[in-house]
Amino acid sequence: MTHPIYPCLWFDGQAQEAVDFYCSVFRDSHKVSEDPMILVFELNGARFMALNSRTSYRFSPAHSLVVTCDSQEEIDYYWEILGTGGVYNRCGWLDDRFGVSWQIVPSVLSDLMRDPVTAPKVVEAFLRMTKFEIAPLLEAAGKGG
C-alpha cells in the first residue's frame, strides 16, 4: 500500500493560528483533521501536517514552500499577504510571521531559464529583485514589450 508523503511543520504553540491563516490565503484549502496537537490540512491539493508544540526548533530557508504564479497580480497578492509581519528576502523569498520560508515565483521563470544564451541575463535581473517582477525578467530575456 502506498501512502502520500507530506511535510510536517512544527510550530511553537501557533499551529492552529498558522493553519487558519494559510487556509484563508489559498483558495483551494481546507483542514482535513485536527486535535489540540496535530492538524492536517491541504493547500491547493498539497497535504501538510502542523504540529503544535513548545520547541526550540526553528524554520529555515533550507526548507521552503514554493508558490508558482501565472501573473504579476498573483505574485503581488501572495507576496503581500504571506510577507506581512514577516521578513522579505531577495529573489522572491520571504519568511512569514510564523517563520515559514516561501518562494513566490513566476511560472514563466523556468522557461526563461532554459535558454542558455538569455538565462544569465535573467539571473542578473532577478538577483537585483526582492519580489519578482515579471516584466523586467521578460525584458532581460529579450521577450519584453
Per residue in 47-94, pLDDT (tens digit) is: 999 999 887 788 888 999 999 999 999 999 999 999 999 999 999 999
Distance (Å) of CA 93 to CA 35, 39, 68 = 31, 25, 12
- CATH number, domain 58-145, options 3.10.180.10, 3.40.50.1450, 3.40.50.2000, 3.30.300.30: 3.10.180.10
| Helix 72-83, helix 15-25: angle, nearest 10 | 160
- Does the predicted model carry a pTM greater than 0.85? yes
Average pLDDT, the chain: 94
Considering the domain 1-57 in this protein, what is its CATH number?
3.10.180.10
Interior CA angle at 101 toward 98 and 107, to 5°? 135
* Percent composition of the chain: helix, strand, coil (DSSP 3-state, to 5): 30, 30, 40
Residue corresponding to grid cell 508523503: 5
Per residue in 129-138, pLDDT (tens digit) is: 999 999 999 9
